Amino acid sequence: MGRKVIVAVCTLNQWALDFEGNLNRILQSVQEAKEMGALYRTGPELEISGYSCEDHFYEPDTFLHSWQVLAELLKSSTCKDILVDVGMPVQHRNVSYNCRVAFLNKKILLIRPKMMLCEDGNYRESRWFSCWTKERQIEDFFLPRIITSITNQSTVPIGDAVISTKDTCIGFEICEELWNPKSRHIPLSLDGVEIISNGSGSYMELRKAYVTVDLVKSATFKSGGAYLFSNLRGCDGQRIYFNGCSCVAVNGEIVSRGLQFALHDVEVVTATIDLEEIRAYRAMIRSRCHLAASNQPFPRITVDFALSDDQDMFLPVSTPIEWKYLTPEEEIELGPACWLWDYLRRSGQGGFFLPLSGGVDSTSTACIVYSMCTQICEAVQKGDPVSVRLHSVRSHGALQQIACHLASEIGSYHFSIVIDSAVSAVIGIFTTATSLVPKFRGKGGWRPGGLLVLGSSNVDEALRGYLTKYDCSSADVNPIGGISKTDLKSFLQYAKSRYYKRHQRLN
């Protein structure tokens, strides 16, 4: 029997109610996880629907479309021969739950509802969801017909249970359960669960990253085990920014991690775990063993599947790494900039309009926009091109082949689209309505979309009421609205040393 397993945690930039886009990003993450050799993939909280659907969680369509996305995942060959768990909303006996759904080879193994909801900060989960209060209990969940037609299952277990494979045992926490004083990973580890997965929706706050990392490390320090933390990234429609930091911890040490801030929509991080190291670590903690001997067991869902391979003797194990934290100035530079890019590209606008007074606030906002542009340019230079050839019936076939060949050579994701029908339809409608034939006014055209107006009011002004009385409260977005004046002054000193010298070198 093998002893080493490769697991994958995913950071996804999902969008509330973008079911098709969310599906594609999930499939891409599964594909990348398989290419890296992982046999278990876990993702962020509510990744199918998007976390910030808010009152759309009251609508039956939100649940229906989530099941439709899950149906596509079950049918996809991409999800074959890999254990996958995803986050989605589920209604059971007319009660809405925030759930993890684990499946393997067109079979749903377990629906695990969230047991502790978050109500602080910008969270108000109990407005839409209820927590599962039946500890160590499962019930029958009756599947929708669109799922039954794929899985040939009419019911599946829902509740507080774990998954037992041929070689290990997998348990679940969901976001707030890690922060809660009565965390579920303690009784899970005492019951022999060796891999604990946490799909999270944790957003950015200055100086918060170390809190999450310390909690993930401590989850396995006292009781041993592997902890898989997957978080969302980006602006999914709300004013908050999910800041990644997906990671894997083993026996109190971080062995693999993702980026805190980045522009790419999908990031997959893997770790190779030695199960025997977990067992040896636990065996040496005698007080833990005495507690485990009397621990009440969890219901186990037995699966005829192994995460390890018999030929894994020479597979290198992931070793502990040092987590390098960003300074508050670096977080201000990168976090709001990534949020602005997400908001801009999804709003369909052409850029920003900033009333620049030259003070600390508006200057900080301008520097954040500059940081956004810098990150975009760096991402373009690294290359992730998408090319499209819009050809007509008059186009030469050889040119089409050349375009496809060139796209393949440069590694571009290429589309070849015939546009004759679309062009004829637009011209026909315009001519019928106006009796005119549209002609291109070719002096460079014009930039599509308007401009988003940026506000520049720090958190101190908002708290004092200055924002609504005298400041630019009519702006579309305010990227520094949660940052104090003191932090902004420090950020400008940092930005001066970072960008002014760079600008001098470029000139």
Known catalytic residues are 45, 114, 175, 357
The number of CA neighbours under 13 Å toward the Cβ of 350 is 6
DSSP 500: I
DSSP 17: T
Unique residue bearing structure tokens 């969901």: 174
Residue type, 469: K
Going by C-beta distance under 8 Å and a sequence separation of 6 or more, which residues neighbour residue 216? 178, 198, 227, 229, 247, 249, 254
Q: Is beta strand 169-174 parallel, antiparallel or unpaired with respect to 247-250? A: unpaired
Going by C-beta distance under 8 Å and a sequence separation of 6 or more, which residues neighbour residue 47? 12, 14, 22, 26, 86, 87, 88, 199, 232
Query: Coil, helix or strand for 116?
Result: coil
Query: Coil, helix or strand for 80?
Result: coil
Residue type, 493: Q
Q: Is beta strand 40-42 parallel, antiparallel or unpaired with respect to 4-12? A: parallel
Calpha distance 46→479 (Å, rounded): 25
Calpha distance 490→128 (Å, rounded): 39
DSSP 435: S
DSSP 382: H
Task: State how far Cα 300 lies from the chain centre.
Answer: 28
Exposure of 162 by Cβ count < 10 A (0-12 exposed, 13-18 middle, 19+ buried)? buried
